[in-house]
Structure 1
Amino acid sequence: MSAEPPGPSSLVSSAFPAPPPFFKHFTPENLSAVKHHKKLGTPTDELPPELQYLIPPPPPENSYRCFGDSWTIPDVLPTLPELGITQLYSDPPTITTATATTATATTTPPPSNTRALSLLRLSKSLLLSYLELISTLSLNPTMSAEKLTDLRTIMINMHHLINEYRPHQARETLILMMEEQVERCRRERDENLKAKEVVKELLGALEGVLGVGLGAGGEERTEDGEGAGERRGVNGEEARERDWEMWRVLEGMR
């Protein structure tokens, strides 16, 4: 069985394409062979065909295909005239900046209120066209094709205006995600500080309980050198009382 020649796949692209056939070459043996060739410094074009599929392709430069659609690099929203659609709203004004040697024309992005006003006008035109379509269907249904075309053009214009907000939406979504991460980190910090204070109180309470049975700051010695704990005994009634007090402190700190 001969291996497929290296290069781009000639399969017809679709919205839900099948897995590429070269996934069968990703075996443990081929992966080990590729690592061995990398250590030896073997050029990619000198590798066997089944190993060339394991080498990542270079990043695309001008365009790429994804789920059957072609995307440009950088991703630029095409204009309605480029798509063959009549544009029903005006473009932002072009400002020409003149210098001593050259004149540069720059297009300033339209303010948000301009887009909102255009969307409002288009929505009113859409409602009016819909009423005209209903009237046409009731009087002469054969003349409805033109009204349907008008509705389609208005909808595409509105969709194109909304798509101009996508970069702004992406920025605001990223800002919101970063603010949520910062707020989560602050909450975790505050919870850690509260837990630290609780642990301090618990240790202080336990030290107080231990100080009752053992003496604060160490056992108090008698004149003959015998400790108070040694005279009372470790397993005496006071030791049991001390243990019960420690458990009550632990239960109270929950």
Structure 2
Amino acid sequence: MAEGQGVSAFPLPPMQYVNMYTDDNVKRGRALPPPPIIPDTFMMFGANFNANDAIIRPLETQGFRRLHAHNYDHKRELKKLNHSILVNFLDLLEVLIKAPESQKRTEKIEDLNLLLIHMHHLINEFRPHQARETLRVMLEVQKKQRLEISEKFQKHFEKVKELLQNSLSSLPDDFSLDSKALVKSELLKAEIKSEPMAMDVEPCDHLDRMMCDIVDSM
């Protein structure tokens, strides 16, 4: 991007955005600006929401009439709502068969709508509990996996430890080898000193002499 050209209107991949956000680009004003602050009030799915509102708002604040008490049993109310929805649906079918243009058809549809909204609201009240249970199950699965890994590691550790102990116990008490295969360095040094080298003979390296003595002694 040339200097003074401005920020491109096309969206960038995440890594390109990160690479552009450098100190030099910030000083020159070439980095993308931070996203705007979310306002307290916003619209989503055609409804107005406030960021300070509770996640699960009461029915009265949403403009719906409450059909159950404030203190209630979720299971019992859900069963009652399910039964009421079934009964009102059958009543709606009867109205559609006998008098489809009757006012009762609109009333039954409104009743079904209100009952379904209440059921949806009660189900949403279980969402925090569902999230906690999901998190608890995930943590239990992770704990189980880590315990299995630690048990496998402990088994391998015990197996390696046992192999090392068996290897150490199988070693002989004395490590003395055949005397014919051993050449003492002191004797070799004394032998080398006792044999004067002739001037007309090419001197022999002491390492070669040691190898020859080892071969002869075998």
Q: How does the TM-score come out when normalised to structure 2? A: 0.63
Q: 5+ unaligned residues in a row in structure 2: which ranges?
A: 183-218
Matched residue type, 1:174:
L
Is residue 142 of structure 2 the alignment partner of residue 181 of structure 1?
A: yes
Q: Provide closer, same or farther for how the CA distance between residues 65 and 216 of structure 1 changes in structure 2, counting only shifts above 3 A.
A: farther
The separation in 2 between residues aligned to 1:157 and 1:29, in whole angstroms, is 45
Residue of structure 1 aligned with 2:57, choices 61, 78, 88: 78
Identity %: 28
Counterpart in the other structure of 2:66: 87
SS in 1 for 2:58: coil
Counterpart in the other structure of 1:202: 163
Does structure 2 conserve the Cα–Cα contact (< 8 Å) formed by 1:122 and 1:158? yes
* Offset, 1:218: 4.8
Residue of structure 1 aligned with 2:90, choices 131, 151, 169: 131
Counterpart in the other structure of 1:62: 40
The separation in 1 between residues aligned to 2:144 and 2:13, in whole angstroms, is 46
The separation in 1 between residues aligned to 2:37 and 2:128, in whole angstroms, is 23
Counterpart in the other structure of 2:76: 117
| Equivalences for residues 15-30 of structure 1 within 5 A | 21-24=9-12
Q: Provide closer, same or farther for how the CA distance between residues 160 and 32 of structure 1 changes in structure 2, counting only shifts above 3 A.
A: closer
Q: Provide closer, same or farther for how the CA distance between residues 124 and 156 of structure 1 changes in structure 2, counting only shifts above 3 A.
A: same
The separation in 1 between residues aligned to 2:44 and 2:146, in whole angstroms, is 37
The separation in 2 between residues aligned to 1:216 and 1:59, in whole angstroms, is 78
* Offset, 1:188: 0.7
Q: Provide closer, same or farther for how the CA distance between residues 187 and 31 of structure 1 changes in structure 2, counting only shifts above 3 A.
A: closer
Q: How does the TM-score come out when normalised to structure 1? A: 0.55
Q: 5+ unaligned residues in a row in structure 1: which ranges?
A: 5-19, 93-109, 228-254
* Offset, 1:76: 2.2
Counterpart in the other structure of 1:35: 23
SS in 2 for 1:174: helix
The separation in 1 between residues aligned to 2:149 and 2:15, in whole angstroms, is 44
SS in 1 for 2:128: helix
* Offset, 1:217: 4.0
Q: Provide closer, same or farther for how the CA distance between residues 195 and 75 of structure 1 changes in structure 2, counting only shifts above 3 A.
A: farther
